[in-house]
């Protein structure tokens, strides 16, 4: 099924092309835009860059829809388009390659590095994440990850895809995905272990419950 492609319009300032709400593009967009925005936001860490990535993703999907053979889930296909668009957008902006993470850099060298400085005992992850400062520390740690590691962490641990699915999306074998995921987790763990919170983590929960 091909998407209805509109003819070229001369005036870009005019009203947006109208496609009936039942068109294949609208179906694709309606069903997946929220998932793709969530994914893009997690990769980019801020709203405007995430919107640019979503736009690029659906534009590329629109153009490539004729070649989509349906042997993967539509969402997996869109994740792949978004991942490649993200890498391309990054290359346009900056030229530096991703840093490689080695396991050695994550081996604790002093007693204080084994534990997180954030006491989470007795709290669910959801309760702990009600703390804004913790969310910011976590977001900064993920944002500091080199891109190729961040993609794997986001797809596996945040989007909840399997290693096999992530391998298909990024064109890597499962072993490589698991290796990158482990290094990415160790990187975030190390960042979290180096940070303490200014306030008590559970204070917000008590406040909320009272």
Partner 1 sequence: MADRVRTYPGTRKPTPHQGHGKRNCVKILERLSAYLDDELSGDICREIRAHLGDCPNCEVFLDSLRHTVQLCQHRPSPSLSAKDRAALRRQILKGAASA
| Residues that bind partner 1 in the complex, under the rule CB under 8 A | 5-9, 12, 16-17, 19, 25-26, 29, 33-34, 37-38, 41-42, 47, 51, 54-55, 58-59, 62-63, 103, 106-108, 111, 114-116, 118, 120, 125-126, 128-129, 134-135, 138-139, 142, 153, 157-158, 160, 178, 181-182, 185-186, 188-189, 192-193
Cα–Cα distances in Å, from 190 out to 115, 125, 127, 164, 195?
A: 9, 18, 21, 26, 9
- Nearer to partner 1 (CB atom), residue 61 or residue 71: 61
Query: Which residue, among 98, 198, 192, 90, has the nearest Cα to 140 in the 3D structure?
Result: 192
- Nearer to partner 1 (CB atom), residue 74 or residue 120: 120
CB of 59 to partner 1, least distance (A): 5
Distance of CA 156 to the CA centre of its chain: 9
- Nearer to partner 1 (CB atom), residue 26 or residue 98: 26
Tokens of 191: 């960042």
CB of 124 to partner 1, least distance (A): 8
Cα–Cα distances in Å, from 10 out to 14, 77, 89, 209?
A: 9, 31, 27, 59
- Nearer to partner 1 (CB atom), residue 95 or residue 161: 161
CB of 116 to partner 1, least distance (A): 5
Signed CA dihedral, 41, 46, 47, 52: sign only: negative
CB of 9 to partner 1, least distance (A): 5
**Rg of the chain in Å (alpha carbons):** 21
Q: Does residue 143 contact residue 44 with C-beta atoms inside 8 Å?
A: no
- Nearer to partner 1 (CB atom), residue 83 or residue 193: 193
CB of 68 to partner 1, least distance (A): 15
Distance, in Å, from the CA atom of 91 to the CA atom of 121, rounded to the nearest integer, reads: 42
CB of 95 to partner 1, least distance (A): 26
- Nearer to partner 1 (CB atom), residue 151 or residue 181: 181
Q: Does residue 156 contact residue 166 with C-beta atoms inside 8 Å?
A: yes
């Amino acid at each position: 099924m091909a998407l209805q492609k509109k003819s070229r319009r001369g005036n870009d300032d005019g009203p947006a092309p109208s496609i009936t709400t039942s068109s294949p593009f609208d179906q694709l967009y309606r069903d997946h835009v929220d998932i793709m925005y969530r994914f893009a936001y997690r990769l980019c860490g801020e709203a405007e860059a995430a919107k640019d990535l979503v736009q690029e993703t659906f534009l590329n999907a629109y153009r490539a829809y004729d070649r989509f053979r349906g042997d993967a889930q539509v969402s997996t296909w869109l994740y792949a388009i978004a991942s490649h668009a993200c890498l391309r957008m990054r290359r346009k902006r900056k030229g530096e390659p991703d840093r490689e993470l080695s396991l050695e850099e994550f081996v604790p060298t002093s007693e204080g590095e084994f534990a997180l400085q954030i006491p989470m005992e007795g709290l669910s992850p959801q309760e702990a994440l009600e703390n804004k400062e913790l969310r910011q520390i976590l977001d900064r740690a993920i944002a500091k990850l080199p891109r190729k590691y961040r993609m794997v962490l986001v797809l596996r641990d945040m989007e909840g895809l399997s290693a096999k699915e992530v391998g298909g999306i990024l064109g890597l074998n499962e072993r490589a995905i698991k290796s990158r995921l482990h290094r990415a987790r160790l990187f975030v763990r190390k960042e979290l272990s180096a940070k303490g919170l200014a306030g008590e983590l559970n204070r917000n929960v008590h406040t909320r419950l009272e």
